[in-house]
Amino acid sequence: MSAAWIAVIVVVGIIVILGIYVWATYNSLVTLRVRVDEAWSDITVQLKRRADLIPSLVETVKGYAAHEKSVFEEVTQARAETISAQTPGEASVAENHMQQALKSIFAVAEAYPQLQASQNFLQLQSELVDTENKIQASRRFYNGGVREFNTKIQIFPNTLFARGMGFKEREFFEVENVAAISEPPRIQF
C-alpha cells in the first residue's frame, strides 16, 4: 500500500469517527431536549391542576369571609398569572405571587373556626398540599433535565456545533423567594 492510500484511509477514518460522534451527540441532545419538554409539560399540568382548585377554595372561604374582597382578588389575579405563564421565567414570577396569595387566603381561613371544620375546605386544602408537592417534584425533575441538557451543550467539543444545530440552553424554573416554596402551605388548625 502506498502512502497516499494510507493517508486516504486515515482521513476517511477520521471523517467516519467524527460523523459518528456528531450523530450520537445530536441524538443525545434531541433526547435531552424532549425530556426537558416533557418535564415542563408536567409542571404546567400541575400548575393547571392547582389553578383549577383555586376557584373552589376561594368560593369555600368566601362563604365564611365574604368581606375579605382584596384577598380574593389577589388570589384570582395570581391564578390568572399562573395560567397565562408560558416560560419558566414567567412561571417563576407567577409562582411567587401565587404563594403569597395562598398564604393570605389561609391566614383568612384561620380566623374562622367553622371554615376550619368544613369537610369541603379540608378536602380542598389536602388536594392543594398534594398538588404543591407534585409541583415541587416536577420542578426538581425539570431543573435536573435542564441542567443535564445545558451541560451537554456547553461541554467541549459539543459547544462547537450544538448551537449551530439549533440547540440552545434552557431556562431553569427558579423562584425568587425559595423559602416561600420550600414546603407546601401549612396551616395549623
Tens digits of residue pLDDT in 65-88: 777 778 888 888 988 998 888 889
Q: Is the pLDDT of residue 185 over 70?
A: no
Q: What is the mean pLDDT of residues 40-47?
A: 92
Q: Is residue 186 part of a domain?
A: no
Range of the domain at 163: 3-181
Q: Is residue 189 part of a domain?
A: no
Number of compact structural domains in the chain:
1
Separation CA 29–CA 161 (nearest Å): 12
Q: Is residue 103 part of a domain?
A: yes
Q: What does the pLDDT read at residue 62?
A: 78
Q: Is residue 187 part of a domain?
A: no
Share of the chain above pLDDT 70, in %: 93
Confidence of residue 181 (pLDDT cuts 50, 70, 90): very low
Cβ 101 vs Cβ 184: under 8 Å: no
CATH number for the domain spanning 48: value is 1.20.1440.20
Cβ 159 vs Cβ 78: under 8 Å: no
Q: Is residue 51 part of a domain?
A: yes
